[in-house]
Amino acid sequence: MRDLKLPAVRPSEITAERYFHMRRGLLASGLGLATASLLPAPGRAASAAPNVAPGPAALRYTPNPRYAVTDRSNSYEEITGYNNFYEFGLDKSDPAANAGSLRTRPWSLTIAGEAEVTGTFHLEDILKPHPLEERIYRHRCVEGWSMVIPWVGFPLADLLARFRPNSRAKYVEFTTLLDPRQMPGQQRAVLDWPYVEGLRIDEAMNPLALMVVGVYGRELPNQNGAPLRVHLPWKYGFKSGKSIVRIRFTERQPLTSWPAASPGEYGFYANVNPMVDHPRWSQATERRIGAGLFAPRRPTELFNGYAEQVAGLYRGLDLRRSY
Amino acid sequence: MSHSTDKRYRYIYKPALFLACLVPLAWVVAGVANAMAATNLPVPGLGADPVRRMLGIFGHSALNLLLITLCVSPLRALTGNAQLLRLRRMLGVFACSYALLHFLVYVGPFQGFDGHAIAADLVKRPYITLGFAALLMLLALAVTSTNGWMRRLGRRWQRLHRLIYVVTALGVWHYWWQVKKDIREPLLYAGLAAVLLGWRWWRQRRTTQQRGTTSSSALPTVPERT
């Protein structure tokens, strides 16, 4: 928890959107000058990220100072232009280029399995009772890169509690939309579609688990998993399912997409852990996107630096075997 | 060869090929300039992760040039134009240069000159071991590509330079092994390499068979490197 600011971060420390827009050209290009926010980027600031219309709708939210980091947030362009979302293609720039075909309204969410309240609900009804907050989270990809992202959302636990999971609900499964016409990447069997992720129920109920609907104060762009996604900052990015259409409470551990595709390389837990390497690369360090060409790698922290909040979930678990 | 052919190669074909081989490097240099000096050169950007993009551009260029180098002999056989061989050395040296740039981006921007991490990768990650072995062989071939070394090594030069077959196979393997899920591209490279190497094997076999059946033929005793 080295750089988690408790109990409070001054609002002045968070990048105001107008500065972010001024400097994003420079930052996106990898020049991580601390002074960048003061400098206009000549001739570059005007280039908009593809498919991010001049403005996804602005959201009403309050910043949650408990979840802020001292690291500079990545630019909007980086966050919305560099994505792993195989439903829209395998290259990092594919989702931004192709996600325009996804229709996020109307949208419904099915709640199924071991809960008292199940059924299919309009997205509006799902979202209505939850006040939105901004949390700045570190995001660590299993591939060895990381970002810092100002999400807008609400605690996953608050949502799940509304459906009153019963005592057999030991796990929660998240399923992404399956529609090869809207998600052209699904026309190829790269993974066994639809994408399925899952958590133990106590992991899902941890206050750190966030249901995300926006980024940088605006509605989530499609390529980031609109209209509804989770983010679990202590786990590798692939654990955080995007464009979710179904949440199912189960008694058995769900078979999730990456362990199904490559069981020797990806586990169910996928907690960020510098001591447990991916079979083909080290997880000891990471490269921060946008830090510049010659920025040193950063040491990766256990649970991505969130050990204080989540280490208790894994007491007694051999993290080397349950990776 | 005629005097005019000689001139065409010297003043047109070779310089044109040289410039064409520089295109990937120029792209990266312009992209880095755009990123770091806020210039506005008209090249596709290197994206949010320029380091990974540079690794990709240099690695792909090395593989592409290796395959193009391997195309020269079949093209000569197909067209009967032996002059094509005069372009082969430049292609090979550029392949080596891009492989070296790929390695330097890995050592510097990617690993931050961290000797421990690099050593650990070389020992623990088979695809990096493979890639590094391929680079060392390719460097040996580039160094011995000069006329002086050809003279000095004589017949052994050809045998040494058949290592390019091994280098190509290792290079494709190196690429295949690190892809997370989508093997289409490595599969394409492997297919092309298989065709180019298979053609050589087929030709070699045919030559050997012919020599066996017609002992009085005028085939050269040392088959030319193909």
CB < 8 Å from A in window 82-121 of B: 108-112, 114, 117, 120-121
Among A34-43, A68-77, B66-75, the range scoring the smallest mean pLDDT is A34-43
* More confident call, A279 vs A300: A300
pLDDT at A24 over 70: no
Segment holding A152, helix H or strand E: strand A145-155
Any idea where the domains of chain B sit in the sequence?
50-205
CB < 8 Å from A in window 156-215 of B: 177-178, 180-182
pLDDT of residue B224: 53
Closest chain A residue to B36, measured at CA = A31
CB < 8 Å from B in window 246-285 of A: 261-262, 277, 280-282, 284-285
Contact assessment for residue A261 and residue A292, using Cβ atoms and an 8 Å cutoff: no
DSSP character at residue B114 = -
B31: tokens are: 């992209």
pLDDT at A6 over 70: no
pLDDT of residue B207: 85
Residues of A in contact with B40 (CB under 8 A): 43-44
CB contact under 8 A, B36 and A293: yes
pLDDT of residue B217: 47
pLDDT of residue A43: 33
Confidence of residue A29 (pLDDT cuts 50, 70, 90): very low
Mutant choice from B34, B51, B184 vs A, greatest count of A C-beta within 10 A: B51
* More confident call, A292 vs A17: A292
CA angle A69, A72, A78 (to 5 degrees): 120
pLDDT, chain A, mean? 86
Q: From CA A291, how far away is CA B50, in angstroms rounded?
A: 10
Q: From CA A244, how far away is CA A109, in angstroms rounded?
A: 7
Closest chain B residue to A290, measured at CA = B48
Tell me how close the Cα of A24 comes to any Cα of chain B, in angstroms.
11
* More confident call, A246 vs B124: A246
Q: Which residues pair with A169 in a beta bridge?
A: none
Closest Cβ–Cβ partner in B50, B124, B125 for A30: B50
User: CB distance from B32 to chain A under 8 Å?
Assistant: yes
Closest chain A residue to B122, measured at CA = A281
Q: Over pLDDT 70: what percentage of chain A?
A: 83
Residue A86's closest CA among A148, A177, A216?
A: A177
CB contact under 8 A, B38 and A42: yes
Q: State the average pLDDT over residues A48-75.
A: 80
Axis crossing angle, helix B50-79 with helix B88-105, rounded to the nearest 10: 160
Closest chain B residue to A32, measured at CA = B36
The SS3 assignment for A219 reads strand
CB contact under 8 A, B47 and A190: no
CA A163 from centre of chain: 23
CB < 8 Å from B in window 188-217 of A: 190-191
User: In order of start, what are the domains of chain A with their CATH numbers?
Assistant: 11-314 (3.90.420.10)
CA B9 from centre of chain: 21
User: CB distance from A48 to chain B under 8 Å?
Assistant: no
Q: How many cross-chain Cβ pairs, A to B, lie less than 8 Å apart?
A: 80
Mutant choice from A22, A29, A192 vs B, greatest count of B C-beta within 10 A: A29
A247: tokens are: 């949440």
What would the pLDDT profile of A88-143 be if each residue is shown by its tens digit? Answer: 999 999 999 999 999 999 999 999 999 999 999 999 999 999 999 999 999 999 99
A120, exposed or middle or buried, with CB in 10 Å at 0-12, 13-18, 19+? exposed
Q: From CA A73, how far away is CA A136, in angstroms rounded?
A: 8
Q: From CA A129, how far away is CA A121, in angstroms rounded?
A: 13
Question: What string of DSSP letters covers B11-28?
Answer: IIIHHHHHHHHHHHHHHH
pLDDT at A5 over 90: no
User: CB distance from A82 to chain B under 8 Å?
Assistant: yes
Average pLDDT, consecutive stretches of 10 residues, N- to C-terminus, chain B (226 residues): 82 95 96 84 86 95 98 94 92 98 96 92 92 97 95 94 97 90 90 96 88 55 53
pLDDT of residue B214: 54
Among A50-64, A159-173, B22-36, the range scoring the smallest mean pLDDT is A50-64
Closest Cβ–Cβ partner in A43, A90, A293 for B109: A293
pLDDT of residue A294: 82
pLDDT of residue A3: 38
The SS3 assignment for A58 reads strand
DSSP character at residue B9 = I
Residue B157's closest CA among B222, B71, B72, B62?
A: B222
Q: State the average pLDDT over residues A290-310.
A: 93
Among A14-23, A267-276, B4-13, the range scoring the smallest mean pLDDT is A14-23
Q: From CA A312, how far away is CA A314, in angstroms rounded?
A: 5
Q: Over pLDDT 90: what percentage of chain A?
A: 75
Tell me how close the Cα of A182 comes to any Cα of chain B, in angstroms.
20
